[in-house]
Amino acid sequence: MKNISDIAKLAGVSKSTVSRYLNDGSVSKKTRLKLSKIINEHDYQPNQFAQSLRATQTHLIGAIIPRMNSYAVDETIKGIVSQCHQHHYQLLLNYTGLQIEAEIDAIETLSRSKVDAIILMATDITESHLEVIDKADVPIIIVGQNYPGLHSITHDDYQAGLSVGNWIGQRQPHHVHFFSVTENDIAVGIHRKNGLLDGLASHQIKPSIFETSFKYENALEDVQQYLSQIDKVDVLVGATDAIALAIHKYSFNSERNCKPTIIHGFGGDPMTQIVSPSIRTIQFNYFEAGKRAMTEVRQLIKNEKTEESVVIPVKL
């Protein structure tokens, strides 16, 4: 692989001229043309490591994702990527497979890799998270959860819940059951639930609530166990689309004859439209959240102050 000196020699100029040509551009037309030609001929590419070694910026953004085959993650990353392209950042993806420890590791590794910033799509912020985040002297932004003292992008879960609650309430159902998740997850387990309850309450409806898991398989078991004891259902709501899909699976099982008129989820996962009958869901602006994460990140890199917590409105 050729380096800058080779090009300089070939062009009969000094390294600095080549460097200047590559960066500022304060170079005479003649040499510019000459260099342009030579660089193309040899398709020379400056060595990123040498560049990064000198510069403080690496133009690398690290993103930590808990899983991959998820509509939410996919859309968010798309949003991030779109901005990366535009601003010439490279995205360094780090996949954790939903394991907390891997998340911590990833933060360390990425900050060692001198990424300019880290975008963390976390499910849950633990003590260990805070420790590493504190140590790593890299701007970090959390997407999907917020935490006092950390920069974050979240969706308006309360609003989403409220909207769904109202929509359901208007239909005057008698038997509403809500499958929620742990309150450890502030966004989903608390805000979303509260929104839903308030929405329903404004129509004098009080659903029964049952707590289950984020994981489809576990949710399926729970739903099965719970619903087998219930004989009247009008509306079944899952706190996430995955849970709604589990509800659907059990409800439209051939053995089961008490079927709900409506199943509702949260998230806008296309899968809700693939099953029959389809599941009603509410769209979050994942793509927008990804884009916004990048603009925040760029602010942070430039050391400009930004709002600590950004809330993305839901699609209504």
Partner DNA sequence: CTGTTAGCGCATTCAA
Partner DNA sequence: TTGAATGCGCTAACAG
Which positions lie near its own copies, rule CB under 8 A? 1, 43, 45, 47-50, 52-53, 58, 67-71, 73-74, 77-78, 81, 90-95, 97, 109, 112-114, 135, 137, 216, 245, 248-249, 252-254, 270-271, 274-277
Question: Closest distance between its own copies and the C-beta of residue 197, in Å?
Answer: 28
Asked whether the beta carbons of 159 and 137 are under 8 A apart, the reply is no
Binding part of the chain for DNA, among 22-30, 117-125, 137-145, 201-209 by CB under 7 A, reads 22-30
- Nearest to DNA of 18, 121 (CB atom): 18
Question: Closest distance between its own copies and the C-beta of residue 157, in Å?
Answer: 21
Question: Closest distance between DNA and the C-beta of residue 113, in Å?
Answer: 13
Can you read off the two tokens belonging to residue 52?
A: 């990064």
1 part of the interface to DNA, by CB under 7 A:
yes
Of 9, 19, 71, 74, the one binding DNA (CB under 7 A) is: 19
Can you read off the two tokens belonging to residue 229?
A: 């004891």
Q: Residue 229's Cα: distance from chain center in Å?
A: 37
Binding part of the chain for DNA, among 53-61, 89-97, 222-230, 252-260 by CB under 7 A, reads 53-61
Alpha-carbon distances of 274 from 21, 54, 172, 220, 262, rounded to whole Å: 54, 52, 27, 18, 15
Alpha-carbon distances of 153 from 38, 128, 193, 276, rounded to whole Å: 46, 20, 19, 33
Q: Which residues contact 315 (CB under 8 A, 6 or more apart)?
A: 268, 282, 283, 284, 285
Of 40, 43, 54, 254, the one binding DNA (CB under 7 A) is: 54
- Nearest to DNA of 43, 231 (CB atom): 43
- Nearest to its own copies of 9, 46 (CB atom): 46
Which partner in DNA, its own copies, none is near 78 (CB below 5 to 8 A by kind)?
its own copies
Q: If DSSP codes are grouped into helix, strand and coil, which group holds residue 141? A: strand
Other CB atoms closer than 10 Å to residue 253's CB: what's the count?
A: 11
Residue type, 299: Q
15 part of the interface to DNA, by CB under 7 A:
yes
Q: How far apart are CA 154 and CA 61, in angstroms?
A: 19
- Strand ranges, E, within the chain: 60-65, 90-95, 117-120, 140-143, 151-155, 176-180, 208-211, 235-238, 262-264, 309-312
28 part of the interface to DNA, by CB under 7 A:
yes
Question: Closest distance between DNA and the C-beta of residue 38, in Å?
Answer: 13
Binding part of the chain for DNA, among 10-18, 180-188, 218-226, 286-294 by CB under 7 A, reads 10-18
Strands lying side by side in the sheet with 208-211 = 208-211, 176-180, 235-238, 262-264
Question: Closest distance between its own copies and the C-beta of residue 266, in Å?
Answer: 17
Of 33, 42, 47, 172, the one binding DNA (CB under 7 A) is: 47
Q: If DSSP codes are grouped into helix, strand and coil, which group holds residue 71? A: helix
130 part of the interface to DNA, by CB under 7 A:
no
Of 9, 10, 30, 278, the one binding DNA (CB under 7 A) is: 30
**Residues in the site for DNA, rule: CB under 7 A?**
1, 3-5, 12-17, 19-20, 22-24, 26-28, 30-31, 46-47, 50-51, 53-55
